[in-house]
Amino acid sequence: QVSVLYFARSAELAGLLCETLSVPRQITSLQLWEEIVKVHPSYPAMVFAVWQEYLLLGDQLLVLQPGDEIAIIPLISGG
């Protein structure tokens, strides 16, 4: 189980600030994002971080430990 922290618009869409999700211990960054979207299917594109480091969605293998924190952060645009 990992802790998922939601910030700004992602918290509004999820309706909460944090939750615990059960995910496989070994998972790619893309698979992890797909697990989150299963729970919150209305999410637009977001950035996420594991261990306080931003991740690209792809084949990067993560080895998660119980209690690891995943942060969901909306994309920021500026002008």
pLDDT of residue 78: 58
The pLDDT tens digits for 7-28 are: 988 999 899 999 999 999 999 9
Note down the domain range covering 40. Answer: 2-74
10 Å Cβ neighbour count for 17? 11
Is residue 55 included in any domain, yes or no?
yes
Number of domains in the chain: 1
Does residue 65 sit within a domain?
Answer: yes
Alpha-helix residue ranges (DSSP H) falling in 1-79: 9-14, 29-39
Judge whether 38 lies within some domain: yes
Q: Considering the domain boundaries, does residue 79 fall inside one?
A: no
73 touches 8 (CB < 8 A): yes
- What CATH number did the domain enclosing 9 receive? 3.10.20.30
- Residue 77 pLDDT: 66
Q: How far apart are CA 6 and CA 66, in angstroms?
A: 18
What pLDDT band is residue 75 in, cutting at 50, 70 and 90?
A: confident
- Answer yes or no: is 61 within a domain: yes
What is the tens place of the pLDDT at every residue in 23-64? Answer: 999 999 999 999 999 998 888 778 889 989 998 888 989 999
Q: Is residue 39 part of a domain?
A: yes
The answer to the question of residue 44 being in a domain is: yes
- ∠ CA 65-42-61, nearest 5°, is 30
Structure tokens at 23: 């995910």
